[in-house]
């Protein structure tokens, strides 16, 4: 948290005070804190399966996991492609098909 931002909470984004007049910063900060407390109360009233951490955060984790698996798959494909190319090039060199290599 920097001097001009107030941390948010799960479904509430952080509050940027950069362009807020000095005389209103205290009021805006207090309202932001009240909003967070109200949000926590509303979340507590929801069934567990409908709460933010069990909906949005679960989906975010699922996307992160999926991206990690895609990256691993691409790395594996690249490695296999490099091995095939190396094997092919070595075979050509061994058989002296291309003498300029």
4-20 pLDDT tens trace: 899 999 889 999 999 99
Question: For 63-78, what is the mean pLDDT?
Answer: 97
* Structure confidence at residue 11 (pLDDT): 84
Residue 90 predicted with pLDDT over 90: no
Mean pLDDT for all residues in the chain: 90
Select the more confidently predicted residue: 3 or 64. 64
Name the band, by pLDDT with cuts 50, 70 and 90, for residue 93: confident
- CA dist 71 and 64 (Å) reads 11
Q: Is 15 helix (H, G, I), strand (E, B) or coil?
A: strand
Task: Give, in order, the Cα–Cα distances in Å from 31 to each of 38, 59, 66, 83, 101.
Answer: 10, 29, 38, 61, 72
CB atoms within 10 A of CB 15: 20
- CA dist 38 and 9 (Å) reads 11
- CA dist 6 and 82 (Å) reads 49
54-65 pLDDT tens trace: 888 889 999 999
CB atoms within 10 A of CB 58: 13
């Amino acid at each position: 948290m920097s001097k001009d931002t107030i941390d948010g909470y799960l479904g509430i984004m952080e509050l940027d005070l950069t362009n807020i007049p000095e005389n209103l910063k205290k009021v805006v900060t207090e309202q932001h804190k009240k909003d967070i407390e109200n949000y926590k109360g509303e979340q507590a009233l929801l069934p567990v399966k409908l709460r933010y951490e069990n909906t949005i955060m679960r989906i975010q984790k699922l996307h992160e996991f999926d991206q990690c698996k895609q990256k691993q798959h691409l790395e594996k494909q690249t490695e296999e492609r490099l091995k095939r190319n190396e094997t092919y090039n070595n075979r050509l060199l061994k058989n002296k098909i291309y003498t300029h290599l």
